[in-house]
Structure 1
Amino acid sequence: MTMAEDNIPSMASLTAPLLGINEELRAMQAERPIWKVRTFTGDEAWLVMGAPEVKRLLVDRRLGRSHPDPSSAPKYAPSPVFEQIMTEFERHAELRALLTPYFSRASMRAIQPKVEATVAELVDKMLAGERPAELQKVLARPLAMRVLCELVGIPVADEELVGDLLHRMAGLGAGDGDATLDTYLAGIAAQRRVEPRDDMISGLVAAGQTDERVATMVAMLLFAGGESVATHIGFGVARLATDDALREALLQDRTLVEPAVEEMLRTASHGGGAQPHYANADIEIAGVTIRAGDLVLPDFALANFDARAFEAPGGRGHHAQPEPASGVRARDLALPRCAAGPDGAADRLHDAVRAGALHPARGAARRAQPRGRPLVRDHARAQDHLVRPGLR
């Protein structure tokens, strides 16, 4: 199969409902692991649904982020975010080398007490507020943004501003949000040159990066990390709110939390985790020929439901399965694990769920169904590609 056929599936019809399954996607995945599709911009691309194929392509140097002719490159979505992450392998390797220390296990363990304290604070604030509460607004997004802003070195007073700029950067608000966010972050970098601190922006400045380069790297981390973490917190709470047996099991035995988080991360989204790549040479895989210049979309979310790779693709509650298609486990990500919070916060959140005090998926539901464009904020994996060795 090549890229010359007509009547191909459209990505607009292949979104998955919140906590649900798109039967067309599942049927396609069961038939073959790679499909030619039409993107949200009307261009053609290869959608990779199989877990083995996703893993193989991620380590194949014939697949990269940039196109030899950017002006004529097929596009996944009309968003400046995807243009920012189009970097060649050499620059990608540079990014990993610069950023990996800030996401090491030691670094994640160091910030865990602050994350747990933030969880407890936000849960208490949510329980003292309006009922039902909107989880994304009062807990998930503030938690993700606060932790990431502290990690990279953004003042607490500017968290709300940065969140608004990220919203615009995603193409979901008015104005040139991308340029505005870059300008703001470049200004912070300039400040750190004069008054360095113990944060990521200061470290990147000390490593010889320009203010503009620091702004670009930090913007991508905030975009990928903030929204993906917030969305996954929403999915996780929604799962716990709708699965009484799982919730009670975790309350009775806290040692089950880590494998349960692994499974909730793997099965959070039933599709829509594609990240645009381009072939820089012809690639033969799974019976198809991907030509040089073709747009390739590995779907990490859907690949995690590949029956060839997982014994129970739909999830096994609190029993972890083999490594997910992205190659990233919860044990490597501090925020999703710490978001379970200290025992007291978890208990209070559990009581809120039982009492019907929150709508766990209310905020996420609005983002689960794209309206004429893809859900670029759902299940984003750009941060993983930047900081995890071996992923591209």
Structure 2
Amino acid sequence: MSTPVQLPFEQANVLQLAPGLRTLQSRGTVHRVRTPAGDEAWLVTGHAQVRQLLDDDRLSRSNPDPEAAKDGGAALLASLLGGFATDHARMRALLEPHFAPERMAELRPYVEKQTGQLLDELAGQQPPVDLREALALSLPIQVMCEWLGVPQEDKDKFGGWTQDAANVGDPVRSKQGLGGLFGYCKQLIADKRRNPGDDAISRICATEGITDDEVLGLTALLLFGGYETTVARIGTCVLLLLSNPEQWQALLDDPSLVPGAVEETLRMSMPNPHNGGMPRYAVTDFEIDGVTIRTGDFVLLNIIAANHDETAFAGPGRVDVTRDTADSLAFGYGAHHCVGAALARMQLQVVLTQLVARFPTMRLAVGVDELRLRHDTLIGGLVELPVTW
């Protein structure tokens, strides 16, 4: 067996796959790598292979050795959160009604109002302004609070906990963040059982036969998954379009292209500074593209690389808001397709629609090469996004 390739690779700039990852992908679809923690793993980069394994019961999210916490915060977080959702099919069935189209339609006016208010504040500032600070950090917290029934005055607290929980460089901080998040959610659930309202947590609590531990796991997962990821994706979406002015102009000329622009920027996503992937563990021996995976092997499914696979998308590094993105794996695939995809899409569509309408001359205030990715968090995303208009 060849010597494992060391992860992560150095990033050329925030918009591109790392050169080392591109080179690796050109040589095949499954690769032996070594994580920053020193563990050997299989890195899967091919689109067809990642799609297959995302919906393959020969892989499990659960680490057979939780104490090992491979891949740092990523695996630790997956292990701790996964412990509250051992029955994936049942938990998914409990969540799906809360993301139904009618629920998203009910929430959309609130998202539009809050986005408008944040952009009012942005318009009153002297550019350049950090759009991440002015918009991306604020909107998802406000939306999650409204939808879940979390008091708005608590948004900064749980925002801090989720950021700590996602920290990949400090396991102690990650555990403390998760502890704070779970502790808060436990009290919130007790309050909802006593005084239910018209919100997602109250409706989940009202589900027949659901236990407090199940509600706790689902609530913490929704708070975490709905915040950090959306913050990062707002930055991704805007940066990709502003760095490709002809695509921004296409939206100015035809705002009906906004949904397609959201899907295309989600496909391209933001290169994760850790260059890893979604952690999985083999529960049996199997073969994928000529490579034998053994029981217990650590497997990383790199969705970003898969969405840049030339066999699936022609010119994958080119932004094209009219592209057919039906095969995008941005929200996973099959039984593990992200249940909250509709909420993320809706927020991104509202943000992009209002930005294009109100700030048609918006542009980057610095060169792309001056932008940096966050290395301290599982989700990645930008450190800042300076814009002017």
Identity percentage over the alignment? 33
2:26 alignment partner in structure 1:
30
1:308 to 293, 308, 311: 311
Distance 1:15 1:127, change over 3 A: same
**Partner amino acid for 1:216?**
G
Matched letter for residue 339 of structure 1: L
8 Å contact from structure 2 (residues 264, 323) kept in 1: yes
Secondary structure of 1:323 counterpart: coil
1:42 to 22, 30, 38: 38
Contact 1:241–1:360 (Cα < 8 Å) also in 2: no
Against the structure 1 CA distance between its residues 316 and 170, is the aligned structure 2 distance closer, same or farther, given a 3 Å change threshold? closer
Counterpart residue type for residue 358 of structure 2: R
Distance 1:330 1:210 in 2: 20
What are the residue-to-residue correspondences of 1:270-281 with 2, within 5 Å?
270=271, 272=275, 274-281=277-284
Aligned-residue offset at 1:242: 1.8
Deviation at residue 258 of structure 1 after TM alignment: 1.4
Q: What is the aligned partner in structure 2 of residue 387 from structure 1?
A: none
What is the SS of the residue equivalent to 2:372? helix
Moved more, 172-181 or 149-158: 172-181
1:56 corresponds, among 47, 52, 55, to 52
Distance 1:362 1:21, change over 3 A: closer
Secondary structure at 1:54 match in 2? helix
**Mapping of 1:325-340 within 5 angstroms?**
325=329, 326-327=332-333, 332-340=341-349
1:166 deviates by 1.1
In structure 2, what residue type is equivalent to 1:75?
A: K
Secondary structure of the 2:33 match is strand
- Counterparts in 2 of 1:168 and 1:181: CA distance versus 1, 3 Å: same
Shift of 1:216: 2.6
1:21 and 2:17 aligned: yes
When the two structures are aligned, how many residues end up with a matched partner? 366
Distance 1:359 1:92 in 2: 44
Structure 1 residue aligned with 2:328, among 321, 324, 343? 324
Q: Name the stretch that deviates more: 151-160 or 210-219.
A: 210-219
* Structure 2 Cα separation of the partners of residues 337 and 362 of structure 1: 30
1:131 deviates by: 2.8
Could you say if the C-alpha distance between residues 128 and 197 of structure 1 is closer, same or farther in structure 2, counting changes exceeding 3 Å?
same
Match of 2:360 among 340, 350, 353: 350
Q: Distance in 2 between matches of 1:104 and 1:87?
A: 26
Query: Which residue does the alignment assign to 1:243?
Result: 244
C-alpha distance in 2 between matches for 1:239 and 1:67: 35
Label 1:200 to 1:31 Cα distance change in 2 as closer, same or farther (>3 A): same
- The equivalent of 1:91 in structure 2 is 87
Q: 1:70: Cα distance to partner?
A: 3.2
**In structure 2, how many angstroms separate the alpha carbons of the residues matched to 1:134 and 1:14?**
25
Alpha-carbon contact 1:134-1:362 (below 8 Å) kept: no
Pairwise CA RMSD of aligned residues?
2.9
Residue aligned with 2:116, SS: helix
- The runs of 5 or more residues in structure 2 that have no matched partner are 382-389
In structure 2, relative to structure 1, the CA distance for the partners of 1:329 and 1:88 (3 Å cut) is: closer
2:327 partner letter: E
Determine the C-alpha separation between the residues in 2 that align with 1:206 and 1:217.
14
For residue 261 of structure 1, what is the aligned residue in structure 2? 262
Question: Counterpart of 2:287 in 1: which secondary structure?
Answer: strand
Instruction: Give 2:220's aligned amino acid.
Output: A
Stretches of structure 1 lacking an aligned partner (at least 5 in a row): 380-392
Looking at structure 1, the residues matched to 84 and 46 of structure 2 have their Cα atoms a distance apart, in angstroms, of: 24
Residues 35, 47 of structure 1: 8 Å contact kept: yes
Paired residues of 1:41 and 1:78 also in contact (CA < 8 A): no
Q: Deviations over 1:338-380 (max 9, x none)?
A: 43438555322334x14x6x6798998341xx26xxx41137x
Change (3 A) 1:338 1:68: closer
1:77 paired residue among 62, 66, 72: 72
Counterpart check, 1:365 vs 2:372: yes
- CA shift for structure 1 position 332: 5.0
TM-score normalised by L of structure 2: 0.85
Deviations 1:234-278 (A, max 9, x none): 111112222221111101111211112111110122454711111
Instruction: State the AA in 2 paired with 1:56.
Output: Q
Distance 1:91 1:130, change over 3 A: farther
Structure 2 Cα separation of the partners of residues 362 and 94 of structure 1: 45
User: Is the 1:273–1:301 Cα contact (8 Å) retained in structure 2?
Assistant: no
8 Å contact kept, 1:16–1:270: no
Q: Partner amino acid for 1:13?
A: F
Q: Which AA in structure 2 matches 1:348?
A: R
Greater CA drift, 221-230 or 207-216 = 207-216
TM-score by length of 1: 0.84
How far does residue 20 in structure 1 lie from its aligned partner after superposition?
Answer: 2.3
Aligned match of 1:283: 286
Question: Does the CA-based 8 Å contact 2:373-2:380 persist in structure 1?
Answer: no
